[in-house]
């Protein structure tokens, strides 16, 4: 008989927490999982899933326009924000139900409460004040939007959390940030008919992505009518007459908009979590410090997902949870593999990417080959839409391995998933060349770029 109430106590019912609790419970472990808001966490409730549903909604006006080129006459169309929010909420409710069902089915005890650590093996359930003990504790509390508290007027702004439940669609919005969340929401709001401006401190949106893709997306977004202000930032937000907000910027004067959204990064949810009481170490950003097996400095406490500030993506949190189970409960030490993570930005056009950007590869290898294609996708010929796809393969000249693949255009995210397998498998450019094309597709370009567009040798383009 164990001396603890539970074998495993999980704090946080998001992507990582639910997976660890469900797998451990299915193995017959006595598991409890505490969630202070809604099961499913950021991804399901106010992240990936509702965001993608909004992306779909925002694309229809272009579909209606494109239809004319294919002989269709589309009647009058109108968009109803409340209908979209209600449909989205219904789907999120369904998914939340599935998460809870999965936990219950596996035999985990579901606790609707905030939980805080009180020691290396103990947790206080805030709803009841009860203290429970566990042999192991997993911290999977995720993160929250950085409120940018030093910005005068930050309390007048919304974050991505509120963007999913606005009472009404604003006429105009200013979005601060240049990361994927800022970029995706700029496209969503613009697509739904909102006058949209993106303001970003850096020189180009989507830092760390391939420069060609960043520039290509920037141009495509501007061509659609999204205003992008780089190398600028908000200095103050104030209420202005007629219910608008007056936003003082560093370089572009005062902008008057209905809504300001801050998408300036996410902070680990560790404030008030009792980490000091348990002796758990955090870094300067408040993220829980872990080793390669997601172990904190306290042997009974583990942390995974966004709270560890490694790679903030749902599949990564889930993977880290599965590695934790392998290591702790299956006697099979497995550390999460964070190399070559394929990822997408659901901008319009979409970005799909895996591996090194040209800039990163040029620094890492003596010589790289860059294969680059820019073309008009077939659908755009009849629709008349002035859009271009970009595809890029980065190859290490020494061993011919494809070390980076970058796509801007329709279905780029879907393609990135499959490219991820090829890079993980260590495929060379010759493997790509040996692969028969699927015709007519945009993806066939990936296997038909036979000659390098240029090379970069010792950092110099040749």
Ligand X SMILES: Cc1cc2nc3c(=O)[nH]c(=O)nc-3n(C[C@H](O)[C@H](O)[C@H](O)COP(=O)(O)OP(=O)(O)OC[C@H]3O[C@@H](n4cnc5c(N)ncnc54)[C@H](O)[C@@H]3O)c2cc1C
The count of residues in the chain is: 462
Instruction: Tell me: does residue 103 bind ligand X (CB under 6 A).
Output: no
Q: List b or e across 264-288, with b for residues whose CB sees 16 or more CB atoms inside 10 angstroms.
A: bebbbbbeebbbeebebebeeebbb
Of residues 121, 218, 410, 439, which has the active-site annotation? 439
The site map against ligand X for 312-341 (x = CB under 6 A) is xxxx-x------------------------
Helices 180-191 & 48-67, crossing angle to 10 degrees? Answer: 40
Single residue of 174, 255, 273, 361 touching ligand X by CB under 6 A:
273
Other Cβ atoms within 10 Å of 81 Cβ, number: 16
Single residue of 20, 42, 294, 383 touching ligand X by CB under 6 A:
42
Name the residue nearer to ligand X (CB basis): 43 or 402.
Answer: 43
Which residues in the 335-374 window bind ligand X by CB under 6 A?
none
Instruction: Tell me: does residue 11 bind ligand X (CB under 6 A).
Output: yes
Query: At closest approach, how far in Å is the CB of 95 from ligand X?
Result: 12
How many chain residues interact with ligand X (CB under 6 A)?
35
Name the residue nearer to ligand X (CB basis): 160 or 348.
Answer: 160
- Among 377, 367, 374, 435, which residue's Cα sits nearest to residue 403? 367
Other Cβ atoms within 10 Å of 70 Cβ, number: 9
Phi-psi region of 449 (alpha: psi -120 to 50; beta: other; left: phi over 0): beta
The site map against ligand X for 213-232 (x = CB under 6 A) is --------------------
Instruction: Tell me: does residue 34 bind ligand X (CB under 6 A).
Output: yes
176/245 Cα distance (integer angstroms): 14
Instruction: Tell me: does residue 140 bind ligand X (CB under 6 A).
Output: yes
Contact window for ligand X (CB under 6 A) among 7-15, 62-70, 89-97, 290-298: 7-15
439 is catalytic: yes
Instruction: Tell me: does residue 206 bind ligand X (CB under 6 A).
Output: no
Single residue of 305, 336, 352, 409 touching ligand X by CB under 6 A:
305
Contact window for ligand X (CB under 6 A) among 45-53, 60-68, 214-222, 424-432: 45-53
221/229 Cα distance (integer angstroms): 12
Single residue of 48, 84, 230, 447 touching ligand X by CB under 6 A:
48
Q: Residues 6 or more apart from 70 whose CB is under 8 A from it?
A: 382, 383
Does residue 370 contact residue 452 with C-beta atoms inside 8 Å?
A: yes
Instruction: Tell me: does residue 377 bind ligand X (CB under 6 A).
Output: no
Task: For residue 208, give the 3-state DSSP assignment.
Answer: coil
Instruction: Tell me: does residue 160 bind ligand X (CB under 6 A).
Output: yes
Query: At closest approach, how far in Å is the CB of 65 from ligand X?
Result: 26
Phi-psi region of 63 (alpha: psi -120 to 50; beta: other; left: phi over 0): alpha
Strands (E), 36-114: 109-112
Name the residue nearer to ligand X (CB basis): 275 or 395.
Answer: 275
Name the residue nearer to ligand X (CB basis): 221 or 416.
Answer: 416
Does residue 328 contact residue 320 with C-beta atoms inside 8 Å?
A: no
153/338 Cα distance (integer angstroms): 38
**Between the CA of residue 242 and those of 229, 245, 254, 256, 257, what are the distances in Å?**
25, 9, 16, 11, 11
Would you name the residues annotated as active-site residues? Answer: 439
Interface residues with ligand X (CB under 6 A) are 11-17, 34-37, 41-43, 47-48, 51, 114-116, 140-142, 160, 181, 269, 273, 305-307, 312-315, 317
């Amino acid at each position: 008989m164990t001396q603890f109430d539970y074998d495993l106590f999980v704090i946080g019912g998001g992507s990582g927490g639910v997976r660890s609790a469900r797998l451990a419970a299915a193995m017959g472990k006595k598991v409890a999982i505490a969630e202070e808001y809604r099961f499913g966490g950021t991804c399901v409730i106010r992240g990936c899933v509702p965001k993608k549903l909004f992306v779909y909604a925002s694309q229809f006006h272009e579909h209606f326009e494109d239809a004319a080129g294919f002989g269709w006459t589309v009647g009058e169309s109108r968009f109803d924000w409340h209908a979209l929010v209600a449909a989205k909420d219904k789907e999120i409710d369904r998914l939340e139900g599935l998460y809870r069902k999965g936990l219950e089915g596996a035999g985990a005890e579901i606790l609707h409460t905030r939980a805080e650590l009180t020691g290396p093996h103990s947790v206080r359930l805030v709803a009841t004040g009860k203290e429970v003990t566990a042999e192991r504790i997993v911290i999977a509390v995720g993160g929250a939007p950085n409120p940018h508290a030093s910005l005068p007027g930050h309390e007048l702004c919304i974050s991505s959390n509120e963007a999913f439940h606005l009472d009404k669609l604003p006429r105009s919005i200013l979005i601060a940030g240049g990361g994927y969340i800022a970029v995706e929401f700029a496209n969503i709001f613009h697509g739904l008919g909102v006058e949209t401006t993106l303001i970003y401190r850096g020189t180009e949106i989507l830092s760390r992505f391939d420069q060609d893709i960043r520039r290509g997306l920037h141009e495509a977004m501007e061509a659609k009518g999204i205003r992008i202000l780089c190398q600028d930032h908000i200095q103050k937000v104030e209420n202005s007459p007629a219910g608008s907000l007056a936003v003082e910027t560093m370089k572009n004067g005062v902008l008057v908009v209905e809504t300001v959204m801050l998408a300036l990064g996410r902070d680990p949810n560790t404030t008030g979590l009792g980490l000091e009481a348990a002796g758990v170490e955090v870094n300067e950003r408040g993220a829980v410090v872990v080793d390669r097996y997601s172990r904190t400095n306290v042997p009974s406490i583990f942390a995974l997902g966004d709270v560890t500030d490694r790679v903030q993506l749902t599949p990564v949190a889930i993977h880290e949870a599965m590695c934790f189970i392998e290591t702790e409960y299956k006697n099979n030490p497995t550390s999460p593999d964070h190399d070559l993570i394929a990822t997408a930005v659901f901008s319009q056009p979409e970005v799909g990417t895996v591996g090194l950007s040209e800039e990163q590869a040029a620094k890492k290898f003596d010589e790289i080959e860059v294969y680059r294609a820019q073309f008009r996708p077939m659908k755009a010929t009849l629709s008349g839409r002035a859009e271009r796809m970009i595809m890029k393969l980065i190859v290490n000249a020494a061993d011919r391995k494809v070390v980076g693949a970058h796509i801007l255009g329709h279905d780029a995210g879907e393609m990135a998933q499959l490219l991820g397998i090829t890079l993980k498998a260590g495929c060379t450019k010759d493997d790509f060349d040996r692969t028969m094309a699927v015709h007519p597709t945009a993806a066939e370009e990936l296997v038909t770029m036979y000659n390098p567009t240029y090379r970069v040798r010792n950092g110099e383009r040749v």
